[in-house]
Structure 1
């Protein structure tokens, strides 16, 4: 059944991926009507999240953010599909970097990087970064249920020396690379909610106390990696700009959870600037601690 689903859906994905951007975003607009107006995909989750973290915003403002978010969500979906066939030149034009030299300088110091980011703006085209640095790119991800689509996503990422590594495999992978002297930039989307029984640290995020992932910090300390925050800004439809900010060059000198807490503050700043670009469909606050 998995293969049947793949061979039925893949041709449609490929056709969408070769559309010029004007038509691609027309597909996004149609998808918006389906997700937001027809099926109301996770609309209750989105509204509950927004009302929880922005208690002072009026209902019209919440509605404005909600609609803008769904437009952006649909853009991200079609942009992910576009990744199948988009050229390197086109991607470099649409996903730019203000200070990639920060990572290049870390390379000259013979150090690997823990790159912490949030589900914000766009993370689909970040792998074009690998054309500008020498380090191997690893991105921590949750394996897809359909093994054929999982292989497709891995193949797309591998075009530019960027690889998807499961949460189960990331620790042995990084230990092996360190022993072999392989420099790497390792992407962690650390803003999701861990399982309550596996939480080591609780912290306020957007004013709500929640359990937070600490895996990126743990690995940085264990393997002595420089920790960098990746901020992505949506300039306009289909165009993004990425800026890197060093959180610490000496993770072992930072008190436990200090790196994670600083990361959360940086994410909060992003969300406050333009909340419509955060991934509100996730149940990020489902384990909120009640006082």
Structure 2
């Protein structure tokens, strides 16, 4: 069944991917109406999250953020499909970078990197970063249930010398890379909620205490990798810009969770500046009523 689904769906995805951007976004506008107004995909979750972290905002303000969020979400879906055939030249034009000297200086120092980011604005085209540095790139991801589509996503990322690895493969893969003397740069989206039985640290996020992922920091310390935050801004429809900020050059100089806490503060700033570009469909604050006594 997996192969059949792939054979039936792949041609449609490819046809969408070769559309010019003007037509691509016309389709996105149409899908937005279906997702937002008809199926109302996770709309209850989105509004619950927004009311929770923005109790001061009016009903109309929450509705406006919700509408803008779904519009952007649909754009991202179509942009991810566009990744199948978009040219390097086009992607370089649409996904640009500032502060590249930060990464390049670490490269000169022979330092491998952990890049931490949030599910904010766009992360689909970040892999073009590999064209600006000489690092071997790894992206930590959740494997797709359909092995054929999973292989497709991996092939797309590999176009730019980036490789997807699962959470379980991360330590062994990065350790092997280090043993071979490679310089690696690994991307972690660390803002979502971990399983509560695996939570080692709780912290305020948007004013609410929640469990937080600490894997990126722990791996950085274990393998002595510098830690850099990358934040993406949406300049206009289909155009993004990413900047970098050093979180820790020598991570073992920091107490446990200091790096993670600093990361969360920057993510909060992103959200407050333009909340419509954050991924509100996830139940990020679902464990807020289960805070252990030692973290109260």
| TM-score of Structure 1 vs Structure 2, range by shorter chain | over 0.9
SS at match of 2:64: helix
Q: Describe the SS at the equivalent of 1:114.
A: strand
Q: State the alpha-carbon separation in 2 of the partners of residues 124 and 48 from structure 1.
A: 26
Where does 1:1-12 land on structure 2 (aligned, <5 Å)? 1-12=1-12
CA deviations 1:94-143 (Å, max 9, x no partner) are 00001112111100000100000000000000000001100001000000
1:55-134 alignment to 2 at 5 Å? 55-134=55-134
Equivalent position SS for 2:106: helix
Shift of 1:254: 0.5
Aligned to 2:14: 14
Counterparts of 1:289 and 1:109 in 2: how far apart (Å)? 45
State the number of aligned residues: 291
| Distance in 1 between residues matched to 2:212 and 2:134, nearest whole Å | 31
CA distance in 2, matches of 1:141, 1:247: 22
The corresponding residue for 2:275 is 275
Counterpart residue number, 1:171: 171
Q: How far apart, in 2, do the equivalents of 1:128 and 1:100 lie?
A: 13
**Distance in 2 separating the partners of 1:184 and 1:192:** 24
For 2:164 and 2:287, locate their aligned partners in 1 and report how far apart those are by CA, in whole Å.
28
Please list, as runs of the form range in 1=range in 2, the aligned pairs for 1:45-64 lying within 5 A after superposition.
45-64=45-64
Structure 1 residues without counterparts, runs of 5 or longer: none
Tell me, in whole angstroms, the C-alpha distance in 1 between the residues paired with 2:141 and 2:13: 21
Q: State the match for 1:242 in structure 2.
A: 242
Whole-Å Cα distance in 2 between the matches of residues 233 and 37 of structure 1? 26
Is 1:182 equivalent to 2:182 in the alignment? Answer: yes
- Alpha-carbon separation, structure 2, partners of 1:201 and 1:31: 39
1:117-266 → structure 2 map (5 Å cutoff): 117-266=117-266
Q: Partner residue of 2:293?
A: none
Structure 2 residue runs without a partner (length 5+): 291-295
Q: Secondary structure at the match of 2:152?
A: helix
2:12 and 2:285 mapped to 1: Cα distance? 35
The Cα of 1:289 is off from its aligned counterpart by 3.3
**What secondary structure does 1:191 align onto?**
coil
Instruction: Indicate whether 1:286 and 2:286 are aligned.
Output: yes
CA distance in 2, matches of 1:129, 1:160: 8
Counterparts of 1:104 and 1:147 in 2: how far apart (Å)?
A: 35
> In 2, distance between residues paired with 1:139 and 1:104?
19
> Aligned equivalents of 2:288 and 2:167: distance in 1?
23
